[in-house]
Amino acid sequence: MNDPKVIVALDFADAAAALAFAGRVSPNQCRLKVGKELFTTAGPHLVEALVAKGFDVFLDLKFHDIPHTVAQACKAAARLGVWMVNVHASGGRKMMETTRDALEALPQRPLLIAVTVLTSMDEAQLAELGLPEPAAQVERLARLTRDCGLDGVVCSAQEASLLRGVCGPEFKLVTPGIRPADASVDDQHRIMTPDAAIRAGSDYLVIGRPITQSADPVATLDRINQSLELL
Ligand SMILES: O=c1ccn([C@@H]2O[C@H](COP(=O)(O)O)[C@@H](O)[C@H]2O)c(=O)[nH]1
C-alpha cells in the first residue's frame, strides 16, 4: 500500500509503548499520529525516532494562539521532519495566513491543516457555546481555511461529502471519530465506519483506541485496511 489511508493515533502513556507499536507495523500499512499526551510525555525525540523509521508523522498539537506564536511552533514542528501539522481554524485568518507564509518560506514543509469542530462535539455542546449546528460551523471554518491557503481540515466524516463539494478535490479531509461497527464509541459523537468515511470523501482516517486498545492491534489494522481495499 503506497498511500495508506489510516493514521493510527498513538495515544500511549510513554515512548516505549509507542515505539513497541511502531515496531510491529510498517510505513506501508499506516501513518502515525503523535498527539498531546504522547508529545507531552515523550517530546520531540520520539517524533524524530518515528520519522527516522520511515513513517509519515502527523503532529497533532492543534496549535491555537497568537499568529507569531503559532507560526513559530509550526516551524519548529517542520524541523522535526513531520508530514503534517495542525492549528485550530478558530484561531482566525491572520493566524492561519501567518503560519502558512512561515511554512512556505521553508525548503521543505509539512502539510498544514486546521481543526474545524472537534468530533467529540455534538449540536448541544456547540449551542452552549453560541455556535450553530456542526455542519454549518464546520463548513464556515473549512471555507475560511481554504481561503487562507491551507492544505485541508480536520472534520468528521459526517461532513466529508459536504466539504468535498465546497472545497474541491485537492483539499485534504482528515477525519477522526472513525469507529468500526463493533467498536466502542468512547467520547466521540460525530462518528462513521472506515469504509463509509472513505466513500463519503475522507482522504485520511484517524483511528486510535479501536486499533491500539484492541486485543490484536496489528490484526485490527489489517482488517480495516482490507475493508478499504475492496472499495
Ligand atoms: O476532532 C478531532 C480532532 C482530533 N482528534 C484526535 O484523534 C484521535 C482519535 O482517537 P480515537 O481513540 O480513535 O477516538 C485522538 O488522538 C484525538 O485527539 C479527534 O478525535 N477529534
Q: Is 64 annotated as a binding residue?
A: yes
Q: Which residue has the cell 497568537?
A: 66
Tell me how far the alpha carbon of residue 188 lies from the centroid of ligand 1, in angstroms: 8
Q: Is 53 a catalytic residue?
A: no
What pLDDT score does 125 carry? 98
Whether 78 and 104 have beta carbons less than 8 Å apart is answered as no
- The string of pLDDT tens digits covering residues 170-190 is 999 999 999 999 999 999 999
Tell me how far the alpha carbon of residue 177 lies from the centroid of ligand 1, in angstroms: 6
Average pLDDT over residues 19-43: 98
How many residues are listed for the chain in this entry?
231
> Is residue 1 scored above 70 in pLDDT?
no
End-to-end CA separation in angstroms for the chain: 14
What pLDDT score does 85 carry? 99
- Cell for 118? 472537534
Q: What residue owns the CA closest to ligand 1's atom 10?
A: 208
Residue type, 52: A
Based on C-alpha coordinates, what's the Rg of the chain? Answer: 17
Residue type, 47: V
Question: What value of ipTM does the predicted structure carry?
Answer: 0.99
Of ligand 1's atoms, which has the minimum distance to the CA of residue 155?
Answer: 1
- The string of pLDDT tens digits covering residues 89-135 is 999 999 999 999 999 999 999 999 999 999 999 999 999 999 999 99
Say if strands 31-34 and 172-175 run parallel, antiparallel, or are unpaired. Answer: unpaired
Phi, psi angle pair for 172, to nearest 5°? -75, 130
Phi, psi angle pair for 207, to nearest 5°? -130, 125
Whether 61 and 75 have beta carbons less than 8 Å apart is answered as no
CB-hemisphere CA count at 13 Å for 176? 25
Q: What is the pTM of this model?
A: 0.98
Map residue 207 onto helix, strand or coil: strand
**Does 119 sit in the ligand 1 pocket, CB within 6 Å?**
yes
**Does 205 sit in the ligand 1 pocket, CB within 6 Å?**
no
What pLDDT score does 230 carry? 83
